[in-house]
A = this chain, B = another copy of it.
Amino acid sequence: MNEKKFTNFWAHRISRWSKVSYKAGLAAIAAVLWMALPVKSDAQQSMEDDALFIRKIYDQTLTDCSAYDWLAFLCKKIGGRLAGSPQASAAVEYTGQMLDTLGLDAVWKQPCTVPHWVRGDKERVRVVSSFKLGSFDLRTTTLGNSVPTPEGGLVAEVVEVQSLDEVDRLGEEGVSGKIVFFNRPMNPQEINTFSAYGGAVDQRGSGPSRAAKYGAVGALVRSMTTEIDDHPHTGSLGYSPDFPKIPAMAVSTRDAEKLSDLLADGPVRVFMETNCNSFDPKPSFNVIGEIKGSEHPEQIIVIGGHLDSWETGEGAHDDGAGCVQSMAVLQTLMRLGYKPKRTIRCVLFMNEENGLAGGRAYGAAANEKGEFHMAAIESDRGGFTPRGFTFDADESVFAEKFKKVYTWQPLLEPYGLSLSKGGSGADIGPLKSQKGLLIGFYPDSQRYFDYHHTETDRLEAVNKRELELGAASMTALVYLLDKYGLDR
């Protein structure tokens, strides 16, 4: 059989066996041939097996997968799930029950202690005097972890800045007694929207304390999105212990532009009220399910997302999607009858949004028990069409581990996946010291910040096929990690 005949033979065979198109069969074969060229025929056979099994994973996931139904329950029957809330407890119970149905080797809840912040029922920012428009409300929402305004709210003049540095430059004279309005937009020229987010989010995270340093009484922050629309986007702030805590709220991008226009015409005074509150920390849980490894049970591969979400929306893309995709990885492997060599563990982390208590508790327990996490994949960038994975590890081991993983690229490329260096996920970050491989699932980023931390992050924003393709991509990578391992 010459090379061409061989290719045709296998393309047809793959196509018949796994019901893929002849073209997809050819692509798989191309991958196999490409990889097989310099190696011996055992390895060739092994790569053919891989191409076929990965095709099976996609076939199974695209036709028979519960991810979307689980997400629908999380979004519509439970809703937003901030740590410490009744909804977060419901999500722990529900996902635990669903994992119980999969026939895994073990399902359990891992305790952690979470902050308990509640938005309250008053959220109002009103321009009370301006040169052109007089009085009107701005579309706003309180930032997570914020302190409340004094009872009855506060009124102050607004000063607009583009950066934390500008607050420093204005100093006490420019800021004291005022509300500082951080209005630097996310840069629309960034192709990856997460880079644009990274370039603007210091205003939300650190802006309020910077303003407080110079005597500001409140902070307003432009919502973190490149869209110009009417939805205020919440998210956590972090107070510096060195300065007074002042209340802080997010403003929709359209109203941020409007406020900025008004400020160009003259002084603007604003009324600001929020009765959010922090209560005593509460007990909560990570939810965990696993298939024990048959050969190296002590080597753990984690897949996970975070179960908590902001309550302004339904936590669909952030991060219900990542949770149900991680659960679906186990479901698919079980349904295909796959017996892993290594332990494959799905972890649904609690409290990523405003504390990271779940991720920290998981990391601490893992270290305490001397567990080794060979690899951990987090899906926390939305349930959009997969584009690949980004890889991170301790510097001393990164090159060697990534080199091995990169040899799998031809097997994943037919599914639109590319592998590159980059961040992983907040919840799995504490595992980095174990010197395993940390992996971030990387879906298309263009729409993510349209929905991020706002009321539009609902089930309707998630496409079933895209969600499933993500789950299948994660399963394929888990399969390769399990089969070939990564040297410790």
Contacts and interface: CB of A to CB of B under 8 A. Distances in A.
Interface of A: 19-21, 23-24, 58-59, 62-63, 187-191, 193, 195, 199, 226-227, 385, 387, 414-416, 444, 446-447, 450, 463-466, 469
Contacts of A446: 385, 463, 465-466, 469
A63 B226 CA distance: 11
B463 A189 contact: no
Contacts of A23: 195
Given A193-B465, A226-B465, 17 more contacts: A20-B189, A21-B187, A21-B199, A58-B191, A59-B189, A62-B188, A63-B188, A191-B415, A191-B416, A227-B464, A385-B444, A387-B416, A444-B444, A446-B465, A446-B469, A447-B466, A450-B463
Contacts of A193: 465
Contacts of A199: 21
A159 to B, nearest CB: 26
A381 to B, nearest CB: 14
Contacts of A188: 62-63, 465
The 7 residue pairs across chains A and B that have the minimum distance between CB atoms: A62-B188, A59-B189, A385-B444, A446-B466, A385-B446, A446-B465, A62-B189
How many copies of the polypeptide does the oligomer hold?
Answer: 2
Nearest to A387: B416
Contacts of A187: 19, 21
12 contacts: A19-B187, A21-B199, A24-B190, A59-B189, A62-B189, A188-B465, A191-B469, A227-B464, A385-B385, A387-B416, A444-B444, A446-B465
Given A446-B466, A446-B469, A447-B463, A191 B24 contact: yes
A280 B112 CA distance: 74
Contacts of A191: 24, 58, 414-416, 469
B19 A189 contact: yes
A440 to B, nearest CB: 15
A188 B464 CA distance: 11
A24 B227 CA distance: 22
A142 B65 CA distance: 34
A44 B21 CA distance: 41
Nearest to A55: B189
A24 B19 CA distance: 40
A21 B190 contact: yes
Contacts of A21: 187, 190, 195, 199
